[in-house]
Chains A and B, each alone.
Chain A
Amino acid sequence: MNLRTNLHSDTIKHVDLSFFIEVAKGLKVRHAIEKMQASQRKCALVMDNGSLLGIFTNHDIARKVLDREGVNDQTVESVMTADPLTLKADMKIIDAIKVMGEKPYRYMPVINEEGLVLGTLTHYAVIKYISDHFPEEIYNLPPTPDHFAQARDGA
């Protein structure tokens, strides 16, 4: 299991793309936020009959909603990022990581060959994908770094 090889051969389809919800166009900002909070997803794709109009994330909430008057009652289209950058499902993970490092987006919708939304690539999911390659070094660690014993217990 070699991370280098896998990053260059696996496509983003192999990463967990499920960290998002879909909301319909016309929904009020307030209700979009409620839906996101209830499902604990910080990213909502704004859809119009199956096609992607835009993306609305907690980043947008922090920048365009919170300290602005009246935004909560507008439609989600008015604050979403329209026509967001999308990635193709057959993109190699290493290339997606490059895009994530360069662009300011934490969430990028992934589109299949037919142009349909397959999911959303998130920073977290890629971190998880990388960590999956080092279970001993990453998952199998004590709760805090100074919790290691000098000697193992045993007979």
Chain B
Amino acid sequence: MVEGRARVALFVTCLVDLFRPTVGFAAVKLLEQAGCTVEVPRAQTCCGQPAYNSGDRADAKTIAVQVMDAFSGYDYVVAPSGSCAGMIRLHYPKMFVDDPTSRARAEELAARTWELVSFLVDVRKMGEVAAQWRRVATYHDACSGLRELGVRDQPRRLLASVEGLELRELLNPEVCCGFGGTFCVKYPEISDKMVSEKADDIAATGADAVLAGDLGCLLNIAGKLSRQGRQVEVRHVAEVLAGMTSAPPIGAPRS
């Protein structure tokens, strides 16, 4: 583990804020374990991806500037989502090609923005966690984290240190689950086909839980599994790594 404290701003992400604060608190706990001081800038809302992916450049840019303002001055910005972190790291700089000042700011922010688990492993050199979870679980590689940020081995490495946990790989861990932001409601039948295949893949492993690093995918997968009546526990990987698995799983009844 890296010595010395780092001042980290948590980018909560709009889905975690709204649906699953537990993931946010799990992220805080893990970051603190990794020797970071965590702050949560109040001026944050969303990374602007819905606007960006819908072709609304103007709004996407305004929101990006707002994020740059809210997160200036911290050593790092960390998000429990490869999708939002990828948006800031890869897409913000591209949005300001014809505006050198904002572009420089965007690049500066991009350089210190990380997806949670890769930050823990690659930057803070965390090699293990002190968590316990008696489950057979499988892991879905969310698209942006995997292909934009190269998040693949890091979560597996930390999960391997969770006591009692057996990880069983999917046949196609790297195939999209069909969430895709607005895609899942614009083309519900296609999205349904994709998430059904993901659910089948999950079921075929015989695992009793599925984990991923992005809440969008998890809501989609949990929604499908529960519609099919399949009893598979769905959680964000941070919850397991932080040992915060007492809350009911995503989409499960409250006990």
Chain B binds chain A: no
